[in-house]
Structure 1
Amino acid sequence: MQLRTAPSRQARILGVGAHRPPRIIDNAEVCTWIDSSDEWIQQRTGIVTRRWAAPDVSVVDMSEDAAAKALAAAGLTGQDVDAVVVATVSHLQQTPAAAAILADRLGATPAAAFDISAGCAGFCHGVALAGDLVRGGTATNVLVVGVDKLSDFTDVSDRSTAFLFADGAGAVVVGASEEAGIGPTVWGSDGGQADAIRSKVSWLQLRRGAVPLGEQVAVEAAAAAPEAAPWPYLEQAGQTVFRWAVWQMAPVAQRALDAAGVRAEDLDAFIPHQANARIIDAMVKQLKLPDSVHVARDITEMGNTSAASVPLAMERVLADGEAPSRGLALLIGYGAGLSYAAQVVRLP
């Protein structure tokens, strides 16, 4: 007996939405936490401000706002969604998945719902999965959210990371299309360098106790009980990650272009993970992108929002009119794992 399969079809991004927390933290405020300067931070990263969510705002809360906007932009409701994919590393519950809670809030039940953990590459992983679900006939519309609340995991006394991380959520709806709107994904990982970006302590160590959340208590708690009350703050080997991203990610981006049959000059926008302005500049140079290609630089105002980085930058590019609707954009995410993923998409 031959198995019945769904007819082949294409997938594209139908709508995008964003949540940017209202609290803006500039470099001057960061420099009250650590011995640094606005000039040093801007020169090293390109970051001028970043957004932090309120202590009582969760990754699900931010996801709900971004997702509702993406659905509205696509002309859909939660009832039209067949699957919800949330890319995050900062959901504070091991289980249930943030995606399941989000699906319920959006009225998407009984849509399939699950989280994926691929660090800053998570959103591009989600787009790859959503595209395949739609093309394979498993789903007609898939909601993909990239969200992180890294303020919960930022050690404000750590001079190497305190100025980097931020909060936010970005969402897209991937749906069926008559024409191809999502190119082949080039992805991978290098677990041999997993320690380059990681939590400082494990869940096992956390059994001894935990410090409260929020930057207002982080320094006091760490000083009062550094051994008895660990918390999984993020740490990274900055130079290792910088060199890996600069020299390894441009070839990945080029492979994504080649796989999609697209040349650099065919692009309308380049939307890379917003980790560091110097990394973005190096990738632009290596890819030999012409001046006609708009390069997303949301990092200046938003900082590094991990999985939310690429969709937030996409939303900004479209909102500011820097790239046309249905224009071609090269996406690439990279980070903890060390994981990466890149694809060419047609913008909504």
Structure 2
Amino acid sequence: MKLNQTPRVDATRILGFGSYRPERVVTNDDLSAIMDTNDEWIRTRVGIVERRFADKDQTVPDLAVIAGNRALADAGLKPSDIDTVIVATCTMPCGIPNAAAQVSSRIGIENKGAFDLNAACAGFCYSIGTASDLVRAGTARHVLVIGAEKLTDSVDPYDRANAIIFADGSAAAVIGPAEEPGIGPVVWGSAGELVDLIYMREDRYLFQEGQSVFRWATTAIAPIGLQAIEAAGITPADIDVLVPHQANLRIVEAIAKKLRAKGARQDMVVAEDIVTSGNTSSASIPLAIDRMRADGKIRSGDTMLLVGFGAGLSYAGQVVICP
């Protein structure tokens, strides 16, 4: 007996982006009013000037729906064009129901595949790789990937080591077929032996061993980026834009410095959305891209290196072409 198989697609690309930043802006001075910190201390250690907090009654699906609709509009597609929805998140208050099914229905994507993916701050890159493979395999024609986080629900508001870093937001991308490859192979992995560096304290509050995570990220992530560049069949000099997870401005700068030492150009644009958005976990990479597109810092056709890393310790990277 011979079974039918869905025809494969040779290449995929990102067709559009969309993002949402909550309206409430929280400055370093605002935080210094409720904890032992100050603007200089925060800027020096993590590079953050301000961040966005969602309203108390806003949920992860609420944030995701806005970004998802904007990505569809940017891609020029309708909800009926989407076959699968992936929501990358680590901040749903419980495992059931998942965010993706709720988001899919609210956007108007009816009776299609929908699932959450939790790789923490690497979640968006994991999801882009998964979505690209779904399209290439013929399982889906168009996939909506959304990174959405409400980290303020998971952070002790008086913990100055962590509360100064994390924030809320969402951003999305649409992945579909292409005549030429626009998404390179994903290079991913995890350092499970270091899982205790980032965890939920008392099963309630997000906690990380800041210095240990900093040392790991500044050592391990640039080589992952170089592997992704090699897997895409290009060189560091071909990278127009570097978009690492926005964890800490010093980490971002260290990754860029190491890539330039390996041949990346001095004029390579480096995302620094951490300064005004804080760490938004799986939303940070697409949030940064969408803002740079809006500001004219990157253009359609630019070659971008995305590198996500976070709890797990999970990491992933790929080269993509800006839509």
Alpha-carbon distance in 2 for matches of 1:318, 1:268: 13
Equivalent of residue 296 in structure 1, options 251, 260, 271: 271
Aligned to 1:247: 219
Q: Number of matched residues?
A: 319
Q: Which residue of 1 aligns with 2:304?
A: 329
Query: TM-score, normalising length from structure 2?
Result: 0.97
1:153 corresponds to which residue? 154
Give the drift of 1:236. Answer: 0.5
2:280 to 305, 317, 321: 305
Task: Show structure 1 runs of 5+ residues with no match.
Answer: 203-231
Q: Distance between the aligned counterparts of 1:162 and 1:96, measured in 2? A: 27
Q: Distance in 2 between matches of 1:116 and 1:195?
A: 20
Contact 1:265 1:292 in 2 (8 A): no
Tell me, yes or no, if structure 1 residue 271 matches structure 2 residue 272: no
- Give the equivalent residue in structure 1 for 2:31: 30
Letter aligned with residue 256 of structure 2: V
- 3-state SS, counterpart of residue 131 of structure 1: helix
Q: Give the structure 2 partner of residue 256 of structure 1.
A: 228
Distance (Å, rounded) in 1 between the aligned partners of 2:258 and 2:161: 27
Map 1:51-90 to 2 at 5 A.
51-90=52-91
Aligned amino acid, residue 307 of structure 1: S
Extract structure 1 runs of 4+ deviating beyond 4 A: none
1:117 pairs with 2:92:
no
**d(CA) in 1 for partners of 2:42 and 2:17?**
30
8 Å contact 2:104–2:114 — kept in the other structure? Answer: yes
Looking at structure 1, the residues matched to 285 and 2 of structure 2 have their Cα atoms a distance apart, in angstroms, of 41
- String of CA shifts for 1:97-140, please: whole Å, max 9, x gaps: 10000000111111100001110000000000000000111000
TM-score norm. by structure 1 comes to 0.90
Q: Deviations over 1:234-253 (max 9, x none)?
A: 00000110000000011000
Aligned to 1:187: 188
Shift of 1:7: 2.9
Identity %, equivalent residues: 48
C-alpha displacement at 1:3, in angstroms? Answer: 4.4
Provide the rounded CA distance (Å) in 1 between the counterparts of 2:8 and 2:53: 44
- The letter of the residue matching 1:326 is G
Q: More displaced, 93-102 or 165-174?
A: 93-102
Q: Return the offset for 1:2.
A: 4.7
Question: Who is 1:199 aligned against?
Answer: 200
Q: Which amino acid aligns with 2:104?
A: A
In structure 2, list runs of 5 or more residues that go unmatched. none
Determine whether 1:282 maps to 2:254: yes
**Maintained 8 Å contact 1:34/1:162:** no
What letter matches 2:290 in structure 1?
A: E
